[in-house]
Amino acid sequence: MLVRISKSRLVDALALAGRAAASSSVISVIKGILMEAEDGILKLSGTNLETRLEVVLSGGDVEIKNEGSVIIPASFGDAVKAIDGDPELKIQVEEPTQTVELSDTKGKINFKFAGIRAENFPETNPGSRVADFEIAAEVLEDILKKTVFAAGRKSPKIILEGIKFQSRDGQLKCFALDGYRAAFYFLYSFKSEPFDVIIPASSLLQLQQLTKRGGTFKCRIYENFAAFEHSNNEDGCSATYIVNLLNGNFPKTERLIREKNTTVVKINKTLLLQSLQRASLTRGAVVLEIDKDGSEVKIFSEDKDKTISVSEKIAAEVKGGPLSIYFNSKFLTEPLEAIEDSEVELGFELDVSPCQIDLSSEKRRYAYFAMPLGKE
């Protein structure tokens, strides 16, 4: 294999593919990156066996002299970054030793690495293709920002550590649940074949970083994994993020959504968030005290030893009540941090029923629920 490529493009591609590589694994092949040169393109792939990130480079500054493939060690990327400036680099693989030689085209710098044969790199088994769809990066980013945090962490039920994606009746429905709170995101006028899959929330955190690149994602759902491809025609670079699916039956939680609440509080989101953040400093439960048909909400919290307390009132439009309800402050601050709206509506039934945050538009609906704590 013999490839010529600019340093800047190679550095960026290695860094991107390396996000999925298993840096702490005892399996050497998944610590490295698979490099493949074929049909005028250079593809770099990293995997941790749960996810895989494939970066494809093409264009005038990528020249494939001889085709081939090899697994390069993680230290290869450090060597590329250590070369000054942005010279054209030459990558050559010697057969049969799999020695990888990295040099600048002027012959002043030369590195050699022990490569691993490409056939040792784990293969993917997608199964049958189920569905294809496209989604704007900003929409996908919004979905992930408003749901991933609500998924379980080290849950006894592994299925709760995933986000359910369901396409049905022209809607994309996304669900997250950890037993204490739930998040729902409904995207209307969605074009795709029907599918129903569960994607690990930990894997979606990596995808969330890719959505910041803007543009559009081409998504493919298979029996065993989901693939999200992002292309940038300007620099001839595409990145495909592949993630294994979870198997199991996700709880039927859509029935949690209430269309009407007996107590409704309309309140400035920023003021409420700041107040909750101050209340969280006590590390105790946060109490929301709501007067009947009032014009303000009181927020109170104190530590378990009752050595520090905080109390403040925020202007609000209250219909219904009265209520006094206890919450883990994190279960309210996290959704508020993900919401851009200046005003939010909190819905309540009883002091033992979940608090509901509901945002709707013609294009989408977001609903979030937080279970209250028992009164202290």
In contact, 309 and 235? CB cutoff 8 Å: no
Q: Rounded distance, CA 218 to CA 49, Å?
A: 22
Q: Per-residue pLDDT for 223 more than 60?
A: yes
| Residue 374 token pair | 């028992």
- Asked whether the predicted pLDDT for residue 376 surpasses 60, the reply is no
pLDDT band (50, 70, 90) for residue 214: confident
Q: Read out DSSP for 14-76?
A: HHHHHTTS-TT-S-GGGTSEEEEEETTEEEEEEE-SSEEEEEEE-STTEEEEE-EEEEEPTHH
pLDDT at residue 115 in the model: 95
What is the identity of the amino acid at 207? L
Name the pLDDT band for 234 (thresholds 50, 70, 90).
low
Instruction: Tell me 281's DSSP state.
Output: G
How is the chain split into domains, by residue range?
Answer: 2-120, 129-255, 257-370
Mean pLDDT of 230-242: 83
2-120 adopts what CATH topology? DNA Polymerase III; Chain A, domain 2 (3.10.150)
Instruction: Read off the tokens for 28.
Output: 């050497």
pLDDT in tens, 306-323: 899 999 999 999 999 899
CATH architecture of 129-255: Roll (3.10)
pLDDT tens digits for range 171-185: 999 999 998 999 999
Per-residue pLDDT tens digits for 316-369 = 999 998 999 999 999 999 999 999 999 999 999 988 899 999 999 999 999 999
What distance separates the 2 farthest-apart alpha carbons in the chain? 80
The residue count of the chain comes to: 376
Reply yes or no on whether the pLDDT at 253 is more than 90.
Answer: no
Rounded to whole angstroms, what are the CA distances from 185 to 131, 166, 188, 225, 365?
A: 20, 11, 10, 21, 6
Q: What is the pLDDT of residues 264-293, one digit of tens each?
A: 999 999 999 999 999 999 999 999 999 999
Is residue 75 helix, strand or coil?
A: helix
> Does 129-255 match 257-370 in CATH topology?
yes
- Please tell me the predicted confidence (pLDDT) of residue 235: 66
Cα distance from N-terminal residue to C-terminal residue, the chain: 69
Which residues face 101 on adjacent strands?
A: 92, 112
Look-up of token digits 């039927």: 252
Q: Which residues pair with 361 in a beta bridge?
A: none
Q: Which two tokens stand for residue 293?
A: 């048909």
pTM (2 d.p.): 0.90
Q: Taking a C-beta distance cutoff of 8 angstroms, is the pair 192, 186 a contact?
A: no
Q: Is the pLDDT of residue 49 over 70?
A: yes
Share of the chain above pLDDT 90, in %: 82
Domain 257-370 has CATH 3.10.150.10: yes
Mean pLDDT to the nearest integer, 204-233 = 91
Question: With left for phi above 0 and alpha for psi between -120 and 50, is residue 108 left, alpha or beta?
Answer: alpha
pLDDT for the residue numbered 289: 95
pLDDT in tens, 68-107: 999 999 899 999 999 999 999 999 999 889 999 999 988 7
Eight-class DSSP state of 178: -
- Residue keyed to tokens 């809607």: 171
CA 259-295-291 angle, 5° bins: 75
| pLDDT given at position 233 | 62
